[in-house]
């Protein structure tokens, strides 16, 4: 498969009739709900990833799916792309090519209000993946996530340099972030 043509193919299929891809008429255009949408490019696990992520985040739903038809570079019926909503945020998943892996240069950040949220997201997203430092992890598909307390920016941005440094030093020792430990580092005088 010529991977240099895949971005063009994806764009074309976004605007082409879904009937060409074996799915019937495309959905009627609607209002743009968000101007920028993150697209996640998978080798061939887009549908599995979409279903997996939908079980983790509240308010998740599949908004649309496009599947390959006859004569496509993937078997007929294979998901080409889908638009989904996770916790109110829209994403697109794409089955593309093995030559374009995920990297740590891009991550999805989850802002958590409680330690219980951090623990739950860390456990679910980390299952089959790999933990990283400072609240980062890779899920089983290779997507990088940051699971962080919603207070982290304030703690790290304290106007007192010694306080901010203590918080940063505490964070650098952690894989999964611990809110109480970060707050203790901040409050220490």
Query: How crowded is residue 158: how many other Cβ atoms within 10 Å of its Cβ?
Result: 14
Strand pairing report for 136-138 and 130-131: antiparallel
- Domains belonging to the chain, first-starting first, are 36-100 (3.30.720.100), 107-187 (3.10.180.10)
Q: Read off the pLDDT of residues 23-79 as tens digits, 9 standing for 90 and up.
A: 444 444 556 567 899 999 999 999 999 999 999 998 999 999 999 999 888 899 999
Give the distance, in angstroms, between the CA of residue 111 and the centroid of all CA atoms in the same chain: 13
- What is the DSSP-derived secondary structure letter of residue 189? -
Strands, DSSP E only, in the chain?
Answer: 38-42, 61-67, 79-86, 89-95, 107-112, 130-131, 136-138, 144-149
Query: What's the rounded Cα separation, in Å, for the pair 162 and 159?
Result: 9
Beta-carbon contacts of 116 under 8 Å, excluding residues fewer than 6 positions away, are none
Output the DSSP codes for 101-123. Answer: ---TTSEEEEEESSHHHHHHHHH
Q: Read off the pLDDT of residues 68-87 as tens digits, 9 standing for 90 and up.
A: 999 888 899 999 999 999 99
What is the pTM (predicted TM-score) of this model? 0.82
């Amino acid at each position: 498969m010529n991977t240099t043509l895949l971005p063009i193919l994806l764009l074309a299929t976004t605007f082409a009739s879904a009937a060409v891809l074996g799915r019937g008429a495309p959905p009627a255009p609607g209002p743009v709900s968000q101007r920028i949408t993150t697209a996640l490019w998978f080798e061939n696990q887009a549908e599995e990833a979409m279903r997996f992520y939908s079980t983790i985040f509240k308010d998740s739903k599949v908004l649309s799916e496009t599947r390959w038809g006859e004569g496509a570079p993937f078997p007929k019926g294979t998901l080409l792309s889908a638009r989904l909503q996770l916790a109110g945020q829209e994403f697109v998943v794409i089955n593309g090519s093995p030559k374009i892996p995920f990297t740590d240069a891009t991550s999805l950040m989850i802002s958590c209000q409680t330690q219980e949220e951090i623990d739950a997201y860390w456990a679910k997203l980390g299952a089959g993946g790999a933990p990283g430092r400072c609240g980062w992890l890779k899920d089983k598909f290779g997507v990088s996530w940051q699971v962080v307390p919603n207070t982290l920016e304030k703690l790290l941005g304290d106007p007192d340099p010694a306080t901010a440094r203590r918080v940063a030093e505490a964070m650098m020792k952690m894989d999964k972030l611990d809110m109480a430990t970060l707050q203790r580092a901040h409050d220490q005088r």
